[in-house]
Amino acid sequence: MLELLFSALITILPDYLYRRYKQGKRLGHEINLFTMWYELRWGITSCAVLAISLLTVIFYFHPTTTNVTSLFRTVSILSDRPGRVEEVYVADNQFVRAGEPIFRLDTQRQQAAAETSRRRIAEVEAAILVGQAELAAAEGNIVASESQLRKAQDDLTRRLDLSERNQNVVTEQELERLRLTVEGLTGSLEAIKAQRDANQTRLRVLLPAQKSSAEAALSQAETEIEKSTVFAGTNGTVRQFKLQPGDLVNPILRPAGILIPEGSGRGRFQAGFGQISAQVLHIGTIVEITCASKPLAVIPMAVTEIQDAISGGQLRPTDQLVDIQDRARPGTILTVLEPVFEGHADYIPPGSRCIGVAYSNHDKAIKSGENSGFSAFLFRIVDGMGIANALVIRIQSLLLPIKVLVFPN
> How many other CB atoms are found less than 10 A from the CB of residue 351?
12
Of the listed ranges 20-34, 150-164, 334-348, the one predicted with least confidence:
150-164
Q: Residue 339 contacts by C-beta under 8 Å, 6 or more apart in sequence?
A: 267, 299, 300, 301, 302, 345
Identify the helix (H) or strand (E) that includes residue 77: strand 75-77
Residues 186 and 289 in one domain: no
Domain with 202 in it: what CATH number? Answer: 1.10.287
pLDDT above 90 for 211: no
Q: In the prediction, which pLDDT does 166 show?
A: 64
Q: Is the backbone of residue 243 left (phi > 0), alpha (psi -120 to 50) or beta?
A: beta
Residues 177 and 255 in one domain: no
294 inside domain: yes
Q: How confident is the model at residue 361 (pLDDT cuts 50, 70, 90)?
A: confident
Alpha carbon 65 to its chain centroid, in Å, reads 28
Average pLDDT over residues 365-369: 79
pLDDT above 70 for 409: no
pLDDT above 90 for 271: yes
Q: In the prediction, which pLDDT does 59 show?
A: 86
* Residue 13: domain span: 1-61
Backbone phi and psi for residue 314, each to the nearest 5 degrees, phi listed first: -70, 145
Distance CA 387, CA 175 (A): 130
pLDDT above 80 for 249: yes
Q: In the prediction, which pLDDT does 3 show?
A: 67
45 inside domain: yes
With 0.75 as the threshold, say if the pTM is over it: no
Q: How confident is the model at residue 171 (pLDDT cuts 50, 70, 90)?
A: low
Q: In the prediction, which pLDDT does 302 show?
A: 93
pLDDT above 70 for 135: yes
pLDDT, mean over the chain: 83
Domain with 284 in it: what CATH number? Answer: 2.40.30.170
- DSSP string across 204-248: IIIHHHHHHHHHHHHHHHHHHHHHTEEE-SSSEEEES----TT-E
320 inside domain: no
Q: In the prediction, which pLDDT does 375 show?
A: 82
Average pLDDT over residues 383-404: 86
Q: What is the 3-state secondary structure (H, E, C) of 21-54?
A: HHCCCCECCCECCCCHHHHCHHHHHHHHHHHHHH
Q: In the prediction, which pLDDT does 25 show?
A: 81
pLDDT above 90 for 270: yes
Please tell me whether residue 146 adopts helix, strand or coil conformation: helix
> How many other CB atoms are found less than 10 A from the CB of residue 97?
10
Residues 56 and 67 in one domain: no
Q: In the prediction, which pLDDT does 97 show?
A: 92
Distance CA 200, CA 354 (A): 79
Domain with 255 in it: what CATH number? Answer: 2.40.50.100
